[in-house]
Structure 1
């Protein structure tokens, strides 16, 4: 499958690219700085540009079967919404329909999955801008006419890929550690390429 990855140099996006190539996909990695991608592969194409630029995003999106957005936030709560907006517009212009977008557990109806620390101190105060950026990002995706899946991971860890995490749990789910490895997040994002279970849904994932 041909896939474009936005946020390809981030801590999750880097693993998405790596695992996608392992699985035999053709990958277009979009990045502001091509030098940030050290990996070279016959099935890897690197497109350099600003993710806020719809025309730049089009160069990566055109001809793809699916798009994975795993944008981080290096610009104080602006990147995820504005970048995803450019990607969605690029997909609409080029006719690419399948979008898999990484958000965060705690957004929307998954807020009930959070504990006091995450709900009121981290997302409520310290990470409020990042949280609001995810909220706006999700609203944008929900309003689109794309075949979207929004993935809501809990806090990232550097653990190995396990495949044993919980997924698609209800907002009142108990016993969550509120942690998941970046490798497992990348694995689940790629799983959505061929699994239609969560089309037009926003599953949470966590150990």
Structure 2
């Protein structure tokens, strides 16, 4: 497939980039600083371009003609509200480009726990991460109200930088935990889960999650 990835310089974005190229997709990576990717990745099917996810015109320019658009965008600490701005810009820009399929890697905070409350509303949720979790939840609402063929992937509670193992489970709105109550997944497996969904859509116009 011919796809565009936003946020490709981040930890999740680089895992997505690696997974997409290994599956022989044609990838346009939209970044603010081209050198951050070109110094690390050279591939005949990778095209690195400068663009701005917060500008709908830039989004439209770099997504036109693609079969799918992926966002793994993450703001800097203290600029969490940019997630909401990015969501609005993505929806508008992708709509302008004529592309229908939008897949977003978001946050785990709005997933439901076994106690029936959102993870971000539990007493043990880290206070320093709460602004980011709230911004992810607000962005999710924007995607969910769009007329695009959107899919929103919430990771497990703990997202660990690591390779793809391939042995993970998927769910919808409930946090996935193992037999010890731990909720975790590697960036490699999260990328695999998203690419699986892109290639064989099942969660169109819905959210899903992945974990061990």
Q: Same fold (TM over 0.5)?
A: yes
* Structure 2 unaligned residues grouped into runs of 5+: none
Structure 1 segments of 4 or more deviating over 4 A? 113-118
1:111 matches 2:112: yes
Query: Any idea what SS the aligned residue of 1:36 has?
Result: helix
Q: Give the TM-score normalised by the residue count of structure 2.
A: 0.88
Q: Give the TM-score normalised by the residue count of structure 1.
A: 0.90
Q: Matches of 1:133 and 1:170 in 2, distance apart?
A: 17
Residue number in structure 1 paired with 2:96 = 93
Q: Matches of 2:16 and 2:200 in 1, distance apart?
A: 16
* Structure 1 unaligned residues grouped into runs of 5+: none
Residue number in structure 2 paired with 1:166 = 169
Residue number in structure 2 paired with 1:64 = 66
Following TM superposition, by how much is the alpha carbon of 1:10 offset from its aligned partner in structure 2, in angstroms?
0.4
CA pair 91-117 structure 1, distance change in 2 beyond 3 A: closer
CA pair 117-66 structure 1, distance change in 2 beyond 3 A: closer
Residue number in structure 2 paired with 1:178 = 183
Residue number in structure 2 paired with 1:43 = 45
Q: CA offsets, 1:125-146, max 9 Å, x none?
A: 2211101110111001001001
Q: Matches of 2:58 and 2:77 in 1, distance apart?
A: 19
Contact 1:106-1:112 at 8 Å conserved across structures: no
Residue number in structure 2 paired with 1:206 = 211
Paired residues, number: 204
Following TM superposition, by how much is the alpha carbon of 1:147 offset from its aligned partner in structure 2, in angstroms?
0.6
Contact 2:55-2:89 at 8 Å conserved across structures: yes
Residue number in structure 1 paired with 2:26 = 26
